[in-house]
Structure 1
Amino acid sequence: MYAISLGDDGAELCPLEPWQAEEFLAHVDRGREFIGQFIRLSDVVTDLESSRAFLQTYAERTAADTGRIYGIRTDGKLVGAVIFRQMDVEQGTAEVGCWLEPSAAGRGLVTRAARRIIDWAVEERGIRRVEWWAAAGNEPSVAVARRLGMKRDGVLRESALYRGRRQDQEVWSVLASEWRTERSAGAGA
C-alpha cells in the first residue's frame, strides 16, 4: 500500500480498506467520546461488522468515484482520517470531512491531510468547489476550514438532528480558482 508523507514528523496519509476493519475499530474505540462530540462515526462504527461495513461503503464510493477515505497515521498508528463524504465529478463538487482521536489533536494533521486530498480533487479530478460542513460549535473543525482558505457560505440553522438535539451547521467552501491562487501565494512565501 502507498503512503504520502504529511511532513517531517512521520505523519502519513494512506487509503483505508475493508480488510483494515479491526484496526479501524480500535482507532474509533480510542477516540469514541472525543470523535462523537460532533460526528456520528462513533455511533455508526461500534463493532467489527459495522467497522467493515463502513469501510466497504467507502470502497464502493471509491470504485464509483463518488467518495473516498484516507487514514492519517503517525509512527504507523492510525490516529484519524479525512474523507470525501460526497464527490460529484460531473458537477465538480466534493465535501471533505475529518476526525482525529484525542492523542493526535492540535498538530495540524487534518489541515495537512485535507490540503493533500483537496489538491488531488482539484488538479486530478477537476473538482471546482470543495465544501466543508461543521457543527457550529465545533471550533477545531471551523478553524481547519479557515486555515484551508475557505469562506463561510452560511449557517443552516437547526438543520441537523444529532443525539436528540438540533445543531446549526456551518457550510464553508473554496473554489478551484481560489485554491490555486492560495496555493501559489503560499509557495512563493
Structure 2
Amino acid sequence: MYAVPLAEDAELRSLEPWQAEEFLAHMDRARANTDPFIPWARRSTDLESARATLQSYADRQASDSGRIFGIWSAGTLVGGVMFVHFDVGTGNCEIGAWVEKAGEGRGLVSAAVRRLIDYALVERGLQRVEWWNSTRNPRSRAVAQRMGMHLDGVLRENFPHDGVRLDMELWSVLAREWPGADTAADSSGNPAGNTSADGTPKTA
C-alpha cells in the first residue's frame, strides 16, 4: 500500500471506506479535538455514518475534487488531513486537518499538511491553497502559521455551530510563494516526473 513517511514510526496513507471501523474508533478518541470544529466528525458516530463520511471523500477522489488521508503512528490511526475541496479549473483548493491527543506535539499534522501543499502547488500546478480555522482554535491557526501562510482576513460570525456563529480566519499560500512550485510543468500541467501512478503525493 502506498505510504508517505512523516516520522520514524509515522506515515500518511489514503483513508478509505473499508477502514470505517478503524476510523470510527479513532473518531471516538478524537472527539474533544474534532467535534467543536469539524462538522463531519460529529456526524461520524456509528459504523454506517463513519463509512458514509469516508465514502463521500472516495467519491470526491474519483472526481478529482477532494481527498482524505490518515496519519498512522506505530500502526494506530491518530489523525488525518484532507483536501476539503480541490478545483483544477480555478486552481484553488482547501486543506484541513485533525488529530487525537496521541498524535499531538510531534509535528505530524504539519508534516502531512506540507505534503498536501506540495502535491497541490508543485505536482498538480494549482495556484492557491486555503486554510480555514475558527478563531477559537489556536492549534489550527498555528499550523497555517508554520506553513508560512498569509492571513487574508477574518469572516465574522461566518460558521454556525452549536447555536453560535463562529468567526473564521482565512489563510492562504500561493504557488509563487511556495518553494518548488515554479518547477517547469509538463504538457499535462503537472511538473515533469512528479506525478505518482495513483495520484497521491510522492515521497520527497
| TM class by smaller structure | over 0.9
1:33 CA drift (Å)? 2.1
Counterpart code for 1:11: A
CA-based RMSD of the aligned residues comes to 1.7
SS in 2 for 1:29: helix
Q: How does 1:120-139 map to 2 (within 5 A)?
A: 120-139=119-138
Structure 1: state its 5+ residue gaps: 183-189
SS in 2 for 1:5: strand
Work out whether residues 81 and 99 of structure 1, in 8 Å CA contact, stay in contact via their aligned partners in 2.
yes
SS in 2 for 1:19: helix
1:42 CA drift (Å)? 3.0
TM-score normalised by the chain length of structure 2: 0.86
Q: How does 1:37-56 map to 2 (within 5 A)?
A: 37-56=36-55
Q: How does 1:152-171 map to 2 (within 5 A)?
A: 152-171=151-170
Residues in 1 aligned to 2:83 and 2:104: alpha-carbon distance in whole angstroms: 20
Q: Structure 1 residue 3 and structure 2 residue 6: aligned?
A: no
Amino-acid identity (%):
55
- Aligned counterpart, 1:186: none
Residues in 2 aligned to 1:58 and 1:163: alpha-carbon distance in whole angstroms: 24
Q: How many residues align?
A: 183
TM-score normalised by the chain length of structure 1: 0.93
- Aligned counterpart, 2:97: 98
My pick for the range that moved more, 115-124 or 133-142, is 115-124
Work out whether residues 5 and 11 of structure 1, in 8 Å CA contact, stay in contact via their aligned partners in 2.
yes
Work out whether residues 34 and 42 of structure 2, in 8 Å CA contact, stay in contact via their aligned partners in 1.
no
Q: Structure 1 residue 66 and structure 2 residue 81: aligned?
A: no
1:181 CA drift (Å)? 6.6
Q: How does 1:133-148 map to 2 (within 5 A)?
A: 133-148=132-147
Q: How does 1:4-43 map to 2 (within 5 A)?
A: 4-8=4-8, 10-43=9-42
Structure 2: state its 5+ residue gaps: 182-204
Deviations 1:103-154 (A, max 9, x none): 1112111100000111011122111100000001100000000000101000
